[in-house]
Homo-oligomer: A and B are copies of this chain.
Amino acid sequence: MFGRLNHVGVATPSIVRAREHYAGLFGTAAVGEPFDLAEQGVRVCFVDAENTQIELIEPLDDASPVAGFLARNPAGGQHHLCFEVGDLDAAIAQATAAGARVLGSPRIGAHGTRIVFLHPRDMGGVLVELMEAPDGGH
């Protein structure tokens, strides 16, 4: 079963401007430092809301899947929802049995644990990331 909402992914054409925007909404202390996820072709930055995080995502180049999203949504917007699971392999088996297509193979995500994406067409139009909970959850 899906667990807590780890983060909401929000695509942005400028992580620098988005950080300023979110610092104004959540306070400067809530906004982390950006870092690259080169394997996924994105630069990300996490913003702390009280009970979850916003992951700001800027593509590193035009080959990034997020670049396609921004071509359709130039101002940026909600990109994906990431839910924690206790056992990623079991969650993939559950999702596959329910007819959801898994996009690619599990890889290491922004929090250092294994992640995988599920096809939005099988998830009511929502791109869903499943993430093995760090240290069994928090």
Contacts and interface: CB of A to CB of B under 8 A. Distances in A.
Work out how many copies of this chain go into the complex. Answer: 2
Interface string A72-98: 010111100101000000000000001
Contact of A125 (B2, B49, B75, B121): B75
Contact of A26 (B1, B124, B125): B1
Contacts of A52: 4-5, 51-52
A112 interface: no
Interface size class of A (residues with CB under 8 A): 20 to 34
A77 B5 contact: no
A134 interface: no
Contacts of A25: 1-2, 98
Contacts of A8: 5, 8, 81
Nearest to A74: B125
Contact of A126 (B1, B77, B121): B77
Contacts of A49: 2-5, 83
A120 interface: yes
B76 A125 contact: yes
Contacts of A98: 24-25
Given A1-B27, A10-B126, A78 B81 contact: yes
17 contacts: A1-B25, A2-B25, A3-B50, A4-B50, A4-B52, A5-B5, A5-B8, A5-B52, A8-B8, A12-B124, A18-B124, A21-B123, A49-B83, A76-B125, A78-B78, A78-B81, A78-B125
